[in-house]
């Protein structure tokens, strides 16, 4: 299933002759609903840094993670696409889509990639696609594929804590960051070469989605998109924001406006950096039911007093 036209921001120089030229491996708009959760780690120490010198990575990460916003999109089906033309060098399928936890480490030993595909390209290049949906792989070893051909669908198999496709790029067996193939980038220098035909947008953290409920929801329900909407008799009205790539001292501003007045509004300062998190605020119902009509919710993520992302929703209580 296709989720909108991919939107790109060209921030770097395309690959030179003899290098691999890549397209994104996911058939979903990376400006939303999908996004890049993590990049290749450029920090040789025990810390982590992406190609912009920001924290969208983790120690030793060797690929780029193109993420779905919620678990239910696995069932809907989002295609994984060949980033470049090549020949299928390896496939694996049949691993269930279960969120990774440490007790599964032994079961997944040697199969951390989950269901996946390896493509071999000219001049010693390879691309690898991990965490595909169980039983979704559509190609076989030795098959020739073209850029944009469907390899399978996005899942959460293997060592995956959220639904995404992990893309690894290698040249002569060496890991390559497609955003910095020559290894000379300095904190996202726009003039550095890239392997992307059109470079995917870089979002320095943001809001995955916002929603409303009658109580502060469990994070598992937010991730699964199973949070029930409130009604006029709900004990409380709550607005929440699902966040990614947040940093210490970021501020999330949450607001819920009712038909006649502000229900609740608050700034929350984040105390630590987190790959994924959520924040919620709410207000208990008084002696009367909530007024019928349209409610407007907003969430704004700020970093150093600058807006990183903003989302808005409307809720009608009939």
pLDDT tens per residue across span 33-88: 999 999 999 998 888 999 999 989 999 999 999 999 999 999 999 999 999 999 99
Q: Are 36 and 67 in contact (CB under 8 A)?
A: yes
Distance CA 155, CA 264 (A): 37
Which pLDDT does position 191 carry in this prediction?
57
Q: Is domain 206-317 given the CATH code 2.60.40.10 in the classification? A: yes
Using CA atoms of 98, 103, 104, 106 in order, give the dihedral in degrees to the nearest 10.
Answer: 180
Among residues 209, 123, 138, the alpha carbon closest in space to that of 171 is found at: 123
Strand partners, 246: 274
* More confident call, 186 vs 138: 138
What are the pLDDT digits (tens) for 113-162? 999 999 999 999 999 999 999 999 999 999 999 999 999 999 999 999 99
Q: Is domain 1-203 given the CATH code 2.40.50.840 in the classification? A: no
For the cut 50, the answer to whether the pLDDT of residue 170 exceeds it is yes
Percent of the chain with pLDDT over 70: 93
For the cut 80, the answer to whether the pLDDT of residue 190 exceeds it is no
Strand partners, 292: none
- Give the pTM: 0.91
Alpha-carbon separation of residue 195 from 20, 144, 238, 293 (angstroms) = 6, 21, 44, 50
Domain boundaries, the chain: 1-203, 206-317
């Amino acid at each position: 299933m296709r989720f909108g036209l991919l939107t790109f921001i060209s921030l770097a120089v395309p690959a030179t002759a003899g290098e691999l030229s890549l397209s994104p491996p996911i058939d979903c708009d990376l400006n939303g609903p999908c996004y890049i959760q993590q990049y290749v780690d450029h920090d040789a120490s025990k810390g982590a840094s992406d190609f912009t010198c920001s924290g969208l990575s983790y120690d030793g990460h060797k690929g780029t993670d193109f993420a779905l916003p919620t678990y239910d999109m696995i069932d809907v089906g989002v295609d994984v696409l060949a980033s470049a033309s090549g020949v299928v060098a390896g496939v694996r399928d049949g691993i269930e889509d279960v969120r990774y936890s440490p007790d599964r480490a032994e079961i997944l030993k040697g199969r951390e990639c989950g269901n996946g595909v390896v493509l071999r390209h000219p001049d010693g290049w390879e691309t690898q696609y991990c965490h595909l949906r169980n039983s979704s792989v559509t190609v076989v070893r030795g098959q020739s594929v073209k850029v944009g051909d469907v390899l399978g669908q996005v899942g959460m198999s293997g060592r995956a804590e959220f639904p995404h496709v992990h893309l690894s790029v290698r040249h002569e067996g060496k890991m390559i960051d497609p955003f910095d193939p020559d290894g000379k980038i300095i904190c996202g220098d726009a003039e550095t070469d890239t392997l992307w035909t059109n470079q995917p947008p870089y979002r320095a953290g943001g809001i995955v989605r916002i929603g409303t409920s009658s109580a502060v929801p469990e994070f598992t329900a937010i991730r699964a998109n199973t949070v029930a909407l409130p009604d006029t008799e709900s004990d409380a009205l709550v607005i929440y924001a699902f966040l990614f790539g947040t940093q210490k001292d970021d501020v999330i501003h949450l607001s819920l406006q009712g038909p006649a007045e502000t229900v609740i509004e608050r700034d929350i300062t984040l105390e630590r950096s987190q790959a994924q998190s959520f924040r919620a605020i709410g207000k208990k119902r008084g002696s009367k039911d909530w007024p019928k009509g349209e409610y407007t919710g907003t969430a704004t993520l700020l970093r150093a007093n600058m807006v990183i992302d903003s989302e808005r929703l409307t809720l009608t209580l009939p």
